[in-house]
């Protein structure tokens, strides 16, 4: 999805609010700043910074891992996957056709039914280089689901088996699919989910109690990648 940033509104707000920091200066980052490097390194999202001539200026560990995943099944894989190059070229073309405007791209790379990455692409001026570069933020869909489900499992004090079931429920598996994946009866799944919802209610105030919705609506078949990750949990019922 291509989105134009409403620069006119930002300028108007800036003129109305004296003493506010310059919106342009807020987009300046120094990659050589130790604090900036530490923050970027520890982010769970991938951060990739590329120059207009496709040279990589910075890539944190998560970004490198995602780039390897995108390229893993290709015989001749380049350092930058063709999908990333396409996004950068598309944004550069928009910038050329609409000078003075600011756009960003929100899209997805669907490698297969179990591997999906969210991608946010925009221009940003780097103080270190003194010029604009393209910054990409890469998010692993299923790692995000896994981390959220595990945090909720700790919060609700779930057992290992309940955690397995909760993770699959969060990935939009049906009762029958969860039962098939874990080799248990559908009624057992139903019983575990009832216990999970009871623990959830006990950990919340009455106003906070909400029935959780799957994080990926429409992905009824779920993710095999999530299934593999379950090996770290116990298999006892």
Domain 2-141: CATH superfamily, name plus number? PAS domain (3.30.450.20)
The set of residues, in sequence order, having a beta carbon less than 8 Å from that of 170 and lying 6+ positions away, is 145, 148, 149, 152, 212, 214, 215
Enumerate the domain spans of the chain.
Answer: 2-141, 157-232
- Res 83 pLDDT > 70: yes
pLDDT the model gives residue 88: 93
Here the tokens at position 102 are: 């600011």
**Sign (positive or negative) of CA dihedral 162, 168, 170, 176:** negative
Q: Which of 35-44, 92-101, 125-134 has the lowest mean pLDDT?
A: 35-44
In terms of residues, how long is the chain? 237
Indicate whether this model's pTM tops 0.75: no
How sure is the predictor about 189, in pLDDT bands with cuts at 50, 70 and 90? Answer: very high
> Is there a common fold for 2-141 and 157-232?
no
Digit-coded pLDDT (tens) for 22-77: 433 445 556 666 666 665 555 668 889 999 888 898 888 888 888 888 888 777 66
How sure is the predictor about 131, in pLDDT bands with cuts at 50, 70 and 90? Answer: confident
Do the beta carbons of residue 87 and residue 128 sit within 8 Å? no
Q: Which CATH architecture has domain 157-232?
A: Orthogonal Bundle (1.10)
């Amino acid at each position: 999805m291509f989105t134009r940033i409403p620069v006119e509104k930002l300028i108007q707000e800036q003129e109305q609010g004296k003493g506010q920091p310059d919106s342009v200066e807020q987009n300046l980052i120094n990659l050589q700043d130790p604090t900036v490097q530490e923050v970027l390194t520890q982010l769970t999202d991938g951060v990739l910074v590329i120059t207009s001539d496709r040279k990589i200026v910075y890539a944190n560990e998560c970004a490198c891992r995602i780039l390897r995943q995108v390229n893993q099944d290709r015989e001749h894989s380049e350092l930058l996957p063709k999908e990333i190059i396409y996004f950068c070229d598309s944004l550069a073309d928009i910038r050329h056709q609409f000078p003075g405007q600011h756009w960003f791209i929100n899209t997805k790379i669907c490698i297969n039914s179990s591997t999906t990455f969210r991608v946010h692409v925009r221009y940003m001026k780097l103080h270190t280089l003194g010029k604009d570069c393209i910054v990409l933020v890469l998010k692993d869909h299923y790692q995000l689901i896994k981390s959220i489900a595990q945090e909720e499992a700790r919060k609700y004090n779930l057992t290992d088996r309940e955690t397995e079931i909760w993770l699959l429920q969060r990935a939009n598996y049906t009762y029958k699919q969860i039962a098939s994946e874990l080799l248990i009866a559908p009624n057992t799944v139903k019983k575990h989910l009832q216990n999970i919802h009871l623990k959830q209610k006990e950990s919340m105030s009455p106003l906070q109690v909400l029935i959780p919705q799957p994080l990926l609506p429409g992905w009824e078949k779920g993710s095999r990648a999530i299934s593999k990750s379950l090996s770290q949990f116990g298999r006892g019922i």
